[in-house]
């Protein structure tokens, strides 16, 4: 799916959830449930590789599952352009598009073999502040990959989901020597990838925006992604950090994209239904409580770092 089309689709669904009518998608987007049809979802016109899924009751939201064409997304944060290591000729050679985005954070890569999930959720109804929402997304991914035998985890101070893989791709700038001359402040390893690495490697990046209490953007889980494309950037602005994928970790045992989609949807439903039940129980008890929950507005955003 072309990134610009995905961003416009998110904005449309975001407004619908704000208006209390989630699930009413534009006419050129069709529901195609893997569970029901055995297909990953087929869109008309330029919209492809997308599979919208209703995930909870009315008023809570919609989950959009997408595989993007190769694209690097860059935020408006000052200094982010310094983390782009490839010039326009190199990006053209690799077939990678460069797009601005309105999420929080830094720079990241999306491409085929990467499952991108855009949860469009009413966080105020779920009584989730931004920090709790990010931790919920991380837990959903941790539980999803655990179903396939991967032990993933959080790393203190670094948003996202990580794995202690023993292997991983670091940003190495292979073939990008000319562009690196302008990035003397970025520390890069000399060894070419793949390389042995006993530290944590990032399996899934997170980056969100919240508009009038409803989320946009979300997470990017590397299933069978071409990890060499990460060499064109400093992912999330973190130099000397590895990235990995389910395929790197599992080899021939890697599940299909449809299998990962189905498990991710199941974990979203499980976690959000649990959250809804916990909120309902608290409402029934009606015990006076002091809470730090605040309404989330347009200014809230976060990204893996």
The more confident residue out of 154 and 101 is: 154
Give the span between the Cα atoms of 195 and 230, in whole angstroms: 14
Q: What is the mean pLDDT of the chain?
A: 75
Tell me whether residue 236 is one of the annotated catalytic residues.
yes
Question: How many structural domains compose the chain?
Answer: 1
Query: Residue 280 domain-assigned?
Result: yes
Determine the Cα–Cα distance for residues 261 and 53; give it in Å rounded to an integer.
10
What is the total residue count of the chain? 305
Structure tokens at 25: 């998608």
Select which of 99, 158, 204, 236 is catalytic: 236
Residue 115 placed within a domain: yes
Q: What per-residue confidence (pLDDT) applies to 126? A: 92
Inter-residue contact 130 to 294 (CB < 8 Å):
no
pLDDT digits (tens, 9 = 90+) for 98-129: 888 888 677 888 999 999 999 999 999 999 99
Q: Classify residue 87 by burial, with Cβ atoms within 10 Å: 0-12, 13-18, 19+.
A: middle
More confident call, 204 vs 86: 204
290 domain residue, yes or no: no
Residue 128 domain-assigned (yes or no): yes
Find the domain containing 14 and state its range.
3-181+189-285+295-303
Residue 76 is predicted with a pLDDT of 73
pLDDT digits (tens, 9 = 90+) for 230-269: 887 766 545 556 889 999 999 999 999 999 999 999 999 9
**Residue 151 in domain:** yes
Q: Which residues, 6 or more positions from 119, have their beta carbon under 8 angstroms from its beta carbon? A: 55, 61, 62, 63, 64, 137, 215, 218, 268
Q: What is the pTM of this model?
A: 0.76
Contact 121, 286 (CB under 8 A): no
Distance (Å, whole) CA 25 – CA 15? 11
Residue 176, domain CATH: 3.30.930.10
Q: Is 49 inside a domain boundary? A: yes
């Amino acid at each position: 799916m072309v990134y610009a089309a995905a961003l416009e689709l998110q904005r449309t669904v975001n407004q619908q959830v704000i208006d209390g009518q989630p699930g009413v998608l534009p006419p050129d987007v069709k529901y195609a449930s893997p569970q029901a049809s055995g297909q990953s979802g087929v869109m008309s016109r330029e919209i492809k590789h997308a599979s919208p899924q209703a995930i909870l009751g009315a008023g809570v939201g919609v989950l959009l599952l997408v595989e993007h064409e190769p694209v690097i997304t860059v935020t408006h944060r000052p200094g982010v352009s310094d983390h782009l290591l490839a010039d326009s000729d190199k990006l053209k050679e690799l077939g990678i598009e460069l797009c601005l985005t309105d999420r929080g954070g830094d720079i990241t890569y999306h491409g085929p073999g990467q499952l991108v999930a855009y949860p469009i959720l009413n966080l105020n109804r779920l009584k989730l502040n931004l920090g709790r929402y990010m931790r919920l997304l991380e837990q959903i991914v941790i539980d999803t990959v655990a179903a396939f035998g991967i032990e993933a985890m959080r790393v203190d101070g670094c948003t996202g989901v990580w794995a202690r893989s023993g292997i991983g791709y670091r940003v190495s700038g292979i073939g990008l020597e000319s562009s690196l001359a302008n990035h003397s402040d970025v520390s890069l390893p000399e060894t070419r990838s793949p390389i042995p690495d006993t530290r944590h490697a990032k399996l899934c990046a997170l980056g969100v925006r919240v508009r009038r209490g409803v989320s946009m953007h979300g997470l990017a889980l590397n299933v069978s992604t071409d990890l060499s494309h990460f060499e064109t950037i400093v992912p999330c602005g973190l130099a000397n950090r590895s990235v990995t994928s389910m395929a790197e970790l599992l080899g021939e045992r890697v599940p299909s994209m449809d299998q990962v989609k189905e498990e991710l949807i199941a974990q979203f439903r499980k976690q959000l239904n649990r959250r809804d039940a916990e909120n309902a129980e608290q409402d029934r008890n009606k015990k006076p409580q002091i809470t730090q929950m605040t309404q989330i507005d347009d200014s809230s955003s976060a990204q893996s770092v």
